Chain A
Amino acid sequence: MWKWVVVALISFFCLAPLLWGLKVSIAPQYDTSLIPRRFTSEHYRYIFSRPEFFQYLKNSVVVSLGTVAFALPLSLLGGYALARFNFPGKQFSFLFLVFPLLPLIAVLVPLVSFLNRLGLYNKLSALIVVNTVFNLPLTVWMLRNFIMEVPAEIEEAALVDGCSRIEALLRISVPLMIPGLVAATVFIFITTWNNYLYASALITKPSLRVLPQGILAFIGTWGTYWGGLTAAGIVTIIPPLTLFLLFQRWFIAGLFGQMLK
């Protein structure tokens, strides 16, 4: 009984902000009551009436999918190298897990300066590069664990049958570690989709702005347009939420390095 009470409390604690956001997004502006006196779709209509919102959406999709396209193969190859090969310094590979703990703000100025010199400032490709780099440590480690669960003997048999290393990886191991790849994909997509810091540092061109920048603009110098902010927030969580719900089973298994039975 107590178990369920605790679960209900934790669920309420997690869901309350979302429910509150939903309530504000469908209540008239300046309605501060707990239950709205009337419902309105004005905030949703407002954001969908703005072509810029679709532009931000498009840019976010490009950056998130672009990052997945770059980061996933690199993570796979990195993870494979860590799982299968012996090389000097391999014992320090646990440092991959330390790298994400680095406060990103501390490296922001040199990072921006470096990307500017590369001619990537104010380009969506800059966001793809940076998100790829900062996602890699965790996803390489995630995929390393998965590859280690695939028996090396199967690959060796494929090598004996004439497969190259890459073919053995792609034809034999990859099909066996789909949950890991899905987990890594969802992880990369969600962290990139939600990232604001890199975009705020690297993008000032209005046409290249991404969703988190667009959402935060609702918090204005004259006050916050809560209706628009929450409506945009609700719309923004739909893609990652859908992705998570669709691949929930694989994602959770992937995070804990478990193969699905």
Chain B
Amino acid sequence: MTHLDGNVLAGPLSELFRADMTTATGRCAHCGDVSVLAEAVVYDAAPGWCVRCHVCDDVLMTLVQAGERLRVDLRGVTALEVG
């Protein structure tokens, strides 16, 4: 299964956050890497996405889109920073 990257999350996350989240940095809870979300590895797992750390491959977050509802699970992100 081929993957995408965090650029594709700009639209879905715009439903939840006011700032562009592809330029936000996130810290991986597993390995501590801090990177912009655009560099995360994203698997299209319709009806949602599985987002993994580009360093250690652990799950950073999952998104599930059901109609107009979006559910985001941030299990593997210990800090998000924008600006």
> Are A and B a genuine interacting pair, yes or no?
no
